[in-house]
Each structure stands twice: as C-alpha cells, then as structure tokens.
Amino acid sequence: MRRLLTIVFTIGAISTLTTGRAQGVKGIQESVARFWRRIAKAKTITYTMKRWGYDLDTAEEPAHDTFYVMNTYVVKAQRPNRLAIAVTGGIEREVNIGGRRQRQFRNTPDTIYINNGKRSITLLTGVRMYKTGHGLDALNKDLSDLAVNVQAYWTFHQDPMYGYVLVPESLAAPSPTVIYTFTDPKSPDLQQRIYFDRKAGNLIQASDFDKDEKGNWIERRRQEFKFWDIDALLPVDTFNVRPPRNYRLSTAFGSPSDVRSLTGGARLSRHFN
C-alpha cells in the first residue's frame, strides 16, 4: 500500500523559469527541439490534456489505490494573448454524512474559460453561472487556475526545456519515448519527468514523482497531452467573452484551486522554485 498522501498542493503550482533557448539545452533530441520550435512559431495551438491523480477515498484501504483521470481539458490558443479552455469531467455525488445526504463536487466541474486578451470570462456550465476577469499580455503569463492546470505558463514559455536532463536509457531502440528529468538539489526526493514521442517529438506526458519509505520513485500526479494541432484555423467565436443569455453573473462560486490534491513531499511545479 502506498503511504497516505499528506501535503497539499495546487495542480500546476507556479514558479519562475530562467530565460534561454530550448534548442541550446545540452542533450535535447532534434525531434523534441523541432516540436518546441513549431510551438514557438505557431499562430494557433490546440491540444488536449488529461489530469491524473489519486482517489484519496481509497488511500487508507490495504493494498488498494486508484490512479485515475480527474479532468480532461481542451486547450485552444492564439498568439499573442488569446486562450480558451474547456474542462470536462469532474465528479458530482451524494454522500450520507451523519444521516444527512450532501451533494459534493470533486475535482474541477465542467467549466469554460476564455480570455480574448482584453478581458476574460469563466463559465460554470453545470449551474449556468459566470464571472469575468482581466485580460492577458502573453500566453505564458496567464496565471488563472485553469491556465495553470493545463501548463500554459510552461508550454508557451520561451525556454520550456531549461533545467531538464536527458535520460540516456530512453534512447534505446525499443523505447517509443524520449524522457527528460528535472531535480532540484534542495529537494532530492522530488523529481519531474517529461515524455516526448520519439519520432514526432510531441510532448505526451509530464509527471511528478517522490520517493517512498523504501527509496522507490512513486508517480504522484500526471498530465497527459494529446491531439496537438499547430496553426489550425479556429472558429471566429472561439474567444468570444460575451456571457450566454441564460447565465447569471456571480462572484461567489469557488475557483478550481479550491480543489486540492494531497501528495507526499513538498509543493511541486513544472519547475521547482
């Protein structure tokens, strides 16, 4: 049984990245460098990301843990400063507590976030509510909850590979992926791994690991990337921030960051800080 997860963090917590050029990182494979060059030059970028985590309800059960898809995100971006994110999944359930039934929402509920550069809107589709927010200067500077969850601050950064080290074993012929790791000397029991399709170079996974009591690396969370589409023609209303007519304005509904996951170790981000 995995040990009980203990320390709280927000998925995709943010840290500051050091500037540089991805192509100049020692050991980066050409297919991976080519992928990042395409991202850097693209006018529009779309992808899907699945966010994985542990079901904490099974954490105390002997020899039983569940690692599952918590949410699926569909991301559409247009340079320099337009971003749209649709979140599907989330769990709605009724729980009997002390003889009273309560409705609970787990993970991020069905949500749509749109930022057209000048202002943003967040739609909570399950309850037909919305809230408005600020605009955006650049794709990697959107620090809203959903943008952080989909790694926008990292994937659209000018040097996303800074600090990562190639895993030589991943270049062996049978391996379909190229793997890089990042470890902070101040946190030797934490490690981040990013995985790329060996042939196409596309980013396919980013995972955070920590060590258990026996010194084994345990995956604590995962972001799975799929369906990259570069320079696709997006519908004209992709970044429309006008509220739908049957939604009501609210400043009361909670943000996705209110949903926390527990993990052993310390606070993690795509780069350690």
Alpha-carbon distance 111 to 130, whole Å? 10
Concatenating the DSSP letter of every residue in 150-178 gives: TTHHHHTSS-TTTT-EE-GGGGSTT--EE
Asked whether residue 231 is assigned to any structural domain, the reply reads: yes
Overall domain count for the chain: 1
What residue numbers bound the domain in which 182 lies? 10-254
- The predicted structure's pLDDT at residue 98: 75
Asked whether residue 4 is assigned to any structural domain, the reply reads: no
Q: Which two tokens stand for residue 9?
A: 């963090």
Q: How would you write the pLDDT of the chain (273 residues) with one tens digit per residue?
A: 333 222 223 333 333 333 333 444 456 889 999 999 999 999 999 999 999 888 776 555 555 677 888 889 999 999 999 999 999 866 666 767 777 877 666 656 688 999 999 999 999 888 899 999 999 999 999 888 888 888 898 999 989 999 999 999 898 878 899 999 999 889 999 999 999 999 999 999 999 999 988 989 999 999 999 999 999 999 999 999 999 999 999 865 554 333 233 222 223 345 433
Asked whether residue 57 is assigned to any structural domain, the reply reads: yes
- The predicted structure's pLDDT at residue 106: 65
CATH code at position 172: 2.50.20.10
Asked whether residue 154 is assigned to any structural domain, the reply reads: yes
Any idea what DSSP says for residue 140? G
Asked whether residue 1 is assigned to any structural domain, the reply reads: no
Q: How far is CA 192 from CA 125, 142, 166, 187, 202, in A?
A: 33, 22, 12, 11, 18
Please enumerate in sequence order all residues whose Cβ is within 8 A of that of 19, keeping only pairs 6 or more positions apart, or say none: 158, 159, 162
Asked whether residue 195 is assigned to any structural domain, the reply reads: yes
Q: What is the pTM of this model?
A: 0.76
